[in-house]
Structure 1
């Protein structure tokens, strides 16, 4: 992996490549019903929802107090770090190392350093989230094909 300065979009690209090889699909910048927005949200073939929070600097990590708000909306939670960051910074109890997974990524690929613990969503929440995420992905695809749709988009 690249050892130079790596940006968040490059980390996201590497994580998406890893996920694609494993049969997962991922969507960046997914808003959650609680008002937060994930860096990456992925879905596996069984319908499990995985949220990835990307960090490219120590300041970025320590300045983020919102990430625990994501855990109620996924089956697994991962941190994705740029290669220059020491993964030991996530060993503090505040970052839930016992349950959160760890991925190290650059623009060319990624590796899972620590698997995330399963914390299964309730079936009703999973169904609602899968529908919401699916609609978001399809809406983005429609707008990419016809940007004029964005101006008149109506939720419903």
Structure 2
């Protein structure tokens, strides 16, 4: 079942528009991805050459100021971005991170974050987890009972 705009949170709407835009760069996205136990990124995006980008969606000043974990995401991506709406006070965001202005239908990359290539072993582990998570989510959509069987 597809969620309507009224059932999605502001952050989920930003994620949807951002993921749509990243498709134009040939990046495929998983929302609410767990790169490691205790961490959950809003969007993990996989590029055509195996690049991994993390995007954190912030719907308000309070949402941003309450986020104490974002620097812990940096070791799990080649580039890090914030996705915010056009009314967000972007001066709060660190200059050395990427910036995406988004709404529920699309987005635009305003500033690229620095390219910090992942070590090969970590990239391999994350790519495998990305693939397995994607396959599991697809299977759950096609057969919701599959993961409840003994």
The root-mean-square deviation of aligned C-alpha atoms, in Å, is 1.3
TM-score (normalised: structure 1): 0.87
Aligned length: 142
Post-superposition offset of 1:34: 4.0
Q: Structure 2: give runs of 5+ residues left out of the alignment.
A: 1-8
TM-score (normalised: structure 2): 0.90
2:44 maps to which of 38, 41, 44: 41
Post-superposition offset of 1:125: 0.7
Structure showing greater relative contact order (alpha-carbon pairs closer than 8 Å, 6 or more residues apart): 1
Cα distance in structure 2, aligned partners of 1:66 and 1:13: 22
Q: Structure 1: give runs of 5+ residues left out of the alignment.
A: 1-5
Q: Would you identify which runs of 4 or more consecutive aligned residues in structure 1 move more than 2 Å?
A: none
Cross-structure match for 2:91: 88
Post-superposition offset of 1:82: 1.6
Residue 118 of structure 2 corresponds to residue 115 of structure 1: no
Residue 64 of structure 2 corresponds to residue 70 of structure 1: no
Post-superposition offset of 1:32: 2.0
Cα distance in structure 2, aligned partners of 1:10 and 1:87: 18
